Structure 1
Amino acid sequence: MDSVEELERQLLKNTSSYINNTDHIKKAISFAEHAHYGQKRRSGEEYMVHPLRVALILAELYADEESIIAGLLHDVVEDTEVTLKDIEDNFGSDVALLVDGLTKLRKLPKGTGWEGAQKENLRKLFLSAAEDPRVIIVKLADRLHNMRTIQYLPPDKQKRVAKETLDVYAPLAHRLGVYRIRWELEDLAFKTLYPEQYEYISALVNQKLKGQKEVIREAKAKIEETLAARGMKGTVEGRVKHLYSVYTKMLTQNKTIDEIFDLVGLRLILDTEEECYVALGLVHSLWPPIPGRLKDYIALPKPNFYQSLHTTVIGPRGLPLEVQIRTWQMHEVAEYGVAAHWAYKEGVSPKSDLERINWLKQVFAFEDEKVKSTDEITRAVMDTLKEEILVFTPKGDVISLPKGATVLDFAYRIHTEIGHHTVGARVNGGWVPLDKELEMGDRVEVVTSKNRSGPSLEWLDFVKTAHAADKINNWFRKRDRQELLEDSRKMLEDPLKKYGLTYQEFIDMLKAKNVNIENAILNLIKNQSSLDSVLKNLGVVVAEPVEETVDTAVATKPALSPNSVIGVPYRLAKCCSPLPPEEIVGIVESGHGIVVHAATCKNVNNASKTIALTWDQLQGSKNKDGYSVDIKITAKDRLGLLADIGSVFAVTGLNIEKVTVQRKQKVEQLKIIVQVKMRNVDDFQMLFNKLSEMPEIIEVTKGKQ
C-alpha cells in the first residue's frame, strides 16, 4: 500500500500535467493533514489515504483545481472540528459549496434509520448539484474509492452501499458519460451483491475469450492493413464487455453467452469524423454487416455527449464481431465524460461547462425546492437516470426521454403549456392515444387545442416522468387554490353579514394584516379556527351571538339545508360509497359543493384540500331509506348467475335501484355494478358474506374504485 507521502507526490505530479500552478492543491493537502492529524480516534495517516485517493481519481478525470481541493477536503467538516466558514476563508465559496454538498447531515430525527438518512443525504447532494453540478463528479470519485475498499465494511453495510451504488451512482456516472467510473462501480457492486453470479459470469467470459483471442488478433491485423493501404493512421484495440453488463443482458434479454455479439470487439480511433465514416465502409467491405446492428451516435449523440459508430459484422471464421469507430476527442469523452476536455478549454470554467448539459438543468431545476419532499426530489433525479430513448419533433429536434415514456411525457418535455393543452398526437404519421409508449427514433407530432382548459387527473395514471407528473399536479394545485377562494365566498358571505362585513372587506382585512389568506380560509373551512377568533385577531369587535343562532366556524344552523354540510350541498362519492360509521372526509369541488369520501379512499390522497367531517355534520344524513351505494361484483360467468345474485339481494332485504353488467369475453367474467340503498356498513358486510358463499364470485367491493 502506498504511503501518504507517495500518494501526495503522485497527486501533485498528475495535476501538474494540466494545472499550471498546484500551490492551492499543496495548501489543501496541508490543510487536510492538519485537520486529520488532530483526531484522537484514528491516526492522521489513516484519515489521509481516502481523500488523497479520491483526489487522484479526480485527477484521472482531469478535474479542475476546485474539484480536486473539494476531494481532498470532503470529509473534514464531517470528521473534524473544521467548519465550512474555515474552508470558505481559505479556499473560497465555490469549494465550500462543494464540500457542503458532500457533507452528510449530522442532525436527523430519531428513528430516521439508515435508509431514511441516505435519502436525506441524497436530497442534500442533489440540491447542492442544482447550484454546482461538479459536486456529482467529486461524489462519484468518493464512491468509487469506497467501493474499492468495501471489503473492510461489515457484511450488511456492504450490501446496502453496493445496492445504492447500482441504483444511484452508476446511473449518474452513465448520464455524465464517465464510463470508466460507471463500469468499475457496476462490477464492484455486482461482485458484492451477487458473488456467485459474478464468479459464474467471470468464468463464462474468460472461457469465451480463450476461443476468440485469435479471431480478435486476425481481425485487428486485417483492419490495420486496410487502413494503411488507404494511407489512414489510426489505433485499433480490443475491448471486452464488463461483467455486470453481460449479466444484465443475459438476464433481461434471456440470452446465452453465445448470443451476446458485443462480448468482445474492436475499437478504431482515428483523427477526424470523416475518417470514421470511411473506416466504417472499409470494415463493411471486409466482412458483411449484420442487419439492424448499425448505430450512428456521431450524427445522433447520446444526451451525455457520447459519440461513436457501432456496427456488428460476421467477422473472421464466421464469428460475430462488434466494431466501434470514433475520433480521439470522442474517445476521451467516452472514457471521462463531461470532464474529458476541462483541461483543454481556455476561458471556460468546468462549472459553466457542466451547466450547459440539458439533462442536468432538467434534473436539478427544482420548483419550490423548500417545499419539495425528499421522495419527490429523489424521484425526479432517478427518473432521469433511467435508460433513455431519443425521439424527434416534426422539425427534427432530438428529445431525450426515459424508456417507457409516453406521448404526453413528450408534450410536457417540449413545454408545460403544450402538455396542458394536448388533445391528440401522431407518431410516425399515424394517430395514437396519449398514453402510447414511445420507442427509439419515433417522430412525434403533438396536437393542441385552445379550447382545452387544462390537464385531466387521469393523466397522472399513465405519465411516466416525474417532470410531467409535477407539472400536472402543479396545475391542479393552482386551480384548487382559485376554486378555494371561489367556494369560500359562497360559504362565508352569510356568516360575515352578522358582523356587518362583506366578503371582500374580510379579504382586504386579511391582506392588511399580512395574513396568509389561503391558510386562513382553509382553516375556517376545516373548522380548525372559528370566524369569531379570526375577526378578533383582525381587531373586529365581535358582538355576543344572538340567542337563536349557534356560533360555528362558518355558518349558523338555520342556514343549513336538508342535504348540506356547513351550508354547502354535498353528495357521497361513487368511487368509495362511504357508509356510517366509516371515517369520512370532504373534498370541495367547484360548482358541485362537497363530495364525501371514505377517509381510506385512494382519491383522497390526490386531493390538495380536504375537510374533516363526521356523519352528524351531514344534514339529512339520518335517512331511514339509507344511502345510495354502488357495489362492484366480479364473477365467473354462467347461466342464471344474475338471477342468483338478485335473489341474494332480496334475501338480505336490500332494494336494487340499478344494475349495469359488462362481460369480459376472453376470460368469461362479468363485472356487475349494482346500485342499492344501504343504511350502514353492517348491511354491506351481510351482503358481502352472502355473496362470498357463491363459488363463482371473485370479488365484492363497495364503490367503483
Structure 2
Amino acid sequence: MLRQYELVERVLEYEPDADEAMLNRAYVYTVQKHGSQKRASGDPYFSHPVEVAGLMTDLKLDQETIITALLHDTVEDTLATIDDVRANFGSEVARLVDGVTKLSKIEAMPEDERAAENLRKFLLAMSEDIRVLLVKLADRLHNMRTLHFIKSEEKRRRIARETIDIYAPLAERVGMYEYMREMQLLAFEQLEPAAYKTITDRLTHIREQDGGQVDAIALAIKQALSEAGLSVEVIGREKHPYSIWHKMAERHVTFEQITDIMAFRVICESEADCYRALGILHTTWQFLPGRFKDYISTPKNNGYRSLHTALIYENSMRVEVQLRTREMHRRNEFGLAAHWAYKQGERPDGQVGWLRDLIEIVDASHDPEELLEHTRLAIYQDRIFAFTPKGSLFQLPKGATPVDFAFAVHTDLGAQTVGAKINGRHMPLRTQLGNGDVVEIVKGKDSEPQLSWLGFVVTGKARAAIRRAVRQKEHTEVAELGRKLFDEIASRMPAKIGKKARTAAVERLDLSSEDELMYAIGAAKLDDRAVMEALVPGYTADLPVEEDWLKRERVISIRGLTAGVGFQLAECCHPVPGDRIVGLRKPGEGVEVHAIDCLSLANGLESDWLDLSWGQRSSGAIGRVRVVLYDQMGALADMTGIFATNHVNVKTLDQVQYEPPFATYDIDLEVQDVAHLTRILSALRASDAVAQAERV
C-alpha cells in the first residue's frame, strides 16, 4: 500500500501546484473514517481507496480526482456524508464523490436490473464529468485484483460477469486498453477456470520451448527497419489469453489452429515513419490480405490510432504487427485519461459523439433488458467506416445498414429515411454496408420509423429510436380509441360530463393527465364501471352487474331486410355489431353484409345496395385480427392470456408469416360487438409481447 508521503510525491511530480495540505488531509480522512474496517483479504479497508488513488496517479490525473479516489467509499461505507465532504474538500470533490457513490448503491438490486441500472447511472454520470467513470473503473480494477479473496464462488462469478459485460467494454470504449485487458483476464479466470488454465499452460509451454523466438523476431523487424534508416523500438508479446479464448470460441477453432499468437508493436518517431515502416515490412515479408487496418488516418471513436497488419514470417508463422508513435502508444493504452484536458474546460477527444448517442439510448430504453441490449450494441462491436456524400466519416458496427447510418448522422434523418443510395446506386434499406461505402440517405418529410426496421438494424441508437417512435405512435392511437370509448361511456351517464368531472376523475384514478385516462381506457386498463365511478362517485352502486356475454345466446339481426330474405356476414371484412354496414344483393342470391369501409365493395357496383343496420339485440360475430408477435419465449401464451381475460372465443388461429424477430398471425375471434373488439386490440397493443395488432 502507498504511504501518505509517497502518494503526495507522485501527484507533485506531474502537478507541482497541487494543494499538498488538502491531499494529506484527504489521506488522513479516509484512514480515520474507515478505521478498523477490513477487506475480504484481511487488509485494512482504507488500503483499497489508497490503491485506487495510486492508479489515478499512474494516469497523472488532477488533484480533485486523486482526492475523489481516496474518498470514494467514505459516504457509502462510513458515517461520513456528502455535506461533510463538501465542508472539508469543496463542492467539486463532493460532486465527484457523490457521482461515484451513486454508482455503488445498487448492489442489492436483482442482477439484470442492477446491470442495467449500472449502465444508466454510468452514462448519466459520465455526461456530467468523465472523471466519475475513471475513478469507478480504477475502483473495479483493484477489486478484481483482490476478487480471489471472496469466499463465495457465486459472488465472484457475478462480479466477474458484470466486469466482462460492462466495465471492460466501457474501459475499451474510452480507450483504456490496459484496464480492459486486465479486467478481462481476471474475469476470464473466474468465469472459465478450466479454459484459463489450459491456455495459460499452453502459453507457458510455448514460452519455454520457443528458444527466444519472440526476441528473435523482434530483432529481425528492428534490423530491417534500421537498415532503411528508421529508428524504432520493437516490443514483442504473446496475445492476451482472453483474446485467444475469444477467438477460439468465435471461429470454432482449437488452440493449435490459432496461428497469430505472437504480436509485435513498433514504436516510431513520427506518423510518416509509421507509414514508411509499414512499406518496408510489407516488402520484406509477405503480408496477409484483409488484415491491414489504418487507424491513423481513420481513428476509432475512442481516439485509438495505430497501423495494424499481419505478416507471414519464416516457416509460415503468422505474426501481428502494430505501428504507432510513442504519443499514440501512450494515448492508446490509457485513452481519455492519457490526454486529460479538463483544466482547460475541454472535453477529452472522442468523448462527446459516442457519449451523446449512449445518453440518447438511456432516454429511449423501455426496460432494463432493452437498455442492456442497446448499450452493449453501442459499446462493444467491431467497426466499419462509411462516408456521407460530403466526406464526413462515421464508424458503425459490422452488419450496419443505411438506416443505422442515417440514425448515426442524426436522429431526425433516421426517422425521415425512405431510401438510400450506396456508392451512387439505389439499394434496399436492409443492405449491409461495407468499409468505405459512400451513403446518401433519401428522406421524406412526412415519413416515420417503421416497425419492420427492427428486423435488420444493428445499432443501439437506431433500435432505441425506432422502438420509441413505435411506442409513441401506439400510445397516440390507443388514446384516440380511448376517447371514442369514453364518449360512449359518457353518453350512458345521468348528466353531461364536462371538463371539471374529467379532471376530478383523473385525480381519483391517480393518473397524470386526461390523455393518460384516455390511454388507460383504450388499453382496457379501466373497465366501464371504474370510469363511471371516477366520474360520478356512487353512481354504479345501483347498476346491475353485467352478465358474461358469452353465456348469452348469439343473436344477429339486421334491419332493412325484407322478411324471409337470408343474409350472411362477408368474410372479406368480418363486420361485427356496431360497425356501419351495407348489403349487396345479386339476383337469385341472398344478401351479403359488408362493413361500410370494406374494399370489396368496389367490386359490387352491379349489385343492389341495401342500407342496413344492426338489430337492437344483435350480439356476437366473428371479427378477424392480425397480430405481429415478437419471436420470444411466452409471447403466444401472453396473447392467448389477453383473449381469456377479455372473454373471447378463438375460432381459428393461423401463422401467416415468420420473419425473425417477428411472427404474424391471422386470428378469428367471436366478439360481442365493435367496442369489445376494440378493447381486445387495445389490450394486445399494450402488451410487451405484441409488436403490432390490427383489425383485418
Report the TM-score, using the length of structure 1 for normalisation: 0.71
1:463 counterpart SS class: coil
Alignment of 1:145 onto 2:139: no
Q: Which moved more, 1:422-431 or 1:288-297?
A: 422-431
Partner residue in 1 for 2:461: 467
For the 8 Å contact 1:510–1:516, the answer to whether it is kept is no
Change (3 A) 1:38 1:561: farther
Partner residue in 2 for 1:91: 89
TM-fit CA distance, 1:336: 0.9
Aligned residue among 7, 10, 16 for 2:3: 7
Give the Cα separation in 1 of the matches to 2:41 and 2:318. 54
Alignment of 1:387 onto 2:385: no
Partner residue in 2 for 1:17: 13
1:46 counterpart SS class: coil
Give the Cα separation in 1 of the matches to 2:150 and 2:418. 55
For the 8 Å contact 1:123–1:378, the answer to whether it is kept is no
Give the Cα separation in 1 of the matches to 2:218 and 2:41. 51
Q: Which runs of 5+ in 1 are unaligned?
A: 553-559, 572-592, 622-626, 633-659, 664-670, 681-702
Change (3 A) 1:429 1:189: same
TM-fit CA distance, 1:207: 3.1
Partner residue in 1 for 2:484: 490
Q: Which runs of 5+ in 2 are unaligned?
A: 547-554, 558-574, 582-593, 596-622, 673-693
What amino acid does structure 2 have at the position aligned with 1:127?
L
TM-fit CA distance, 1:142: 1.0
Change (3 A) 1:336 1:55: same
Change (3 A) 1:418 1:40: closer
For the 8 Å contact 2:218–2:264, the answer to whether it is kept is yes
Deviations 1:460-509 (A, max 9, x none): 34333332222122223332343345434433446556677588898799
Q: How many residues align?
A: 590
Q: Which moved more, 1:161-170 or 1:230-239?
A: 230-239
* Equivalent runs, 1:370-409 vs 2, <5 Å: 373-395=367-389, 396-409=391-404
1:103 counterpart SS class: helix
Report the TM-score, using the length of structure 2 for normalisation: 0.72
* Equivalent runs, 1:6-405 vs 2, <5 Å: 6-20=2-16, 21-23=18-20, 24-37=22-35, 46-103=44-101, 112-113=109-110, 116-117=113-114, 119-154=116-151, 155-210=153-208, 212=210, 214-257=212-255, 259-316=257-314, 318-342=316-340, 345=341, 347-349=343-345, 352-353=347-348, 356-365=351-360, 368=363, 373-395=367-389, 396-405=391-400
RMSD: 4.6
Change (3 A) 1:675 1:532: closer
Change (3 A) 1:597 1:318: closer
Give the Cα separation in 2 of the matches to 1:522 and 1:400. 40
For the 8 Å contact 1:407–1:425, the answer to whether it is kept is yes
Deviations 1:430-451 (A, max 9, x none): 5543334444444433333346
TM-fit CA distance, 1:17: 2.0
1:410 counterpart SS class: helix
2:236 counterpart SS class: strand
Alignment of 1:521 onto 2:518: yes
Change (3 A) 1:270 1:491: same
Partner residue in 2 for 1:412: 407
Give the Cα separation in 2 of the matches to 1:34 and 1:251. 48
Task: Give the fraction of aligned pairs with identical amino acids, expressed as a percent.
Answer: 33
Give the Cα separation in 2 of the matches to 1:494 and 1:251. 61
Deviations 1:103-140 (A, max 9, x none): 36898899x55565455445433432332232221111
Give the Cα separation in 1 of the matches to 2:235 and 2:55. 24
For the 8 Å contact 2:214–2:237, the answer to whether it is kept is no
For the 8 Å contact 2:174–2:335, the answer to whether it is kept is yes
Deviations 1:641-679 (A, max 9, x none): xxxxxxxxxxxxxxxxxxx9x99xxxxxxx999998989
2:476 counterpart SS class: helix
Give the Cα separation in 2 of the matches to 1:515 and 1:678. 35
What amino acid does structure 2 have at the position aligned with 1:315?
Y
Q: Which moved more, 1:373-382 or 1:59-68?
A: 373-382
Change (3 A) 1:383 1:291: closer
Give the Cα separation in 1 of the matches to 2:651 and 2:69. 66
Change (3 A) 1:227 1:54: same
2:302 counterpart SS class: coil
Partner residue in 2 for 1:635: none
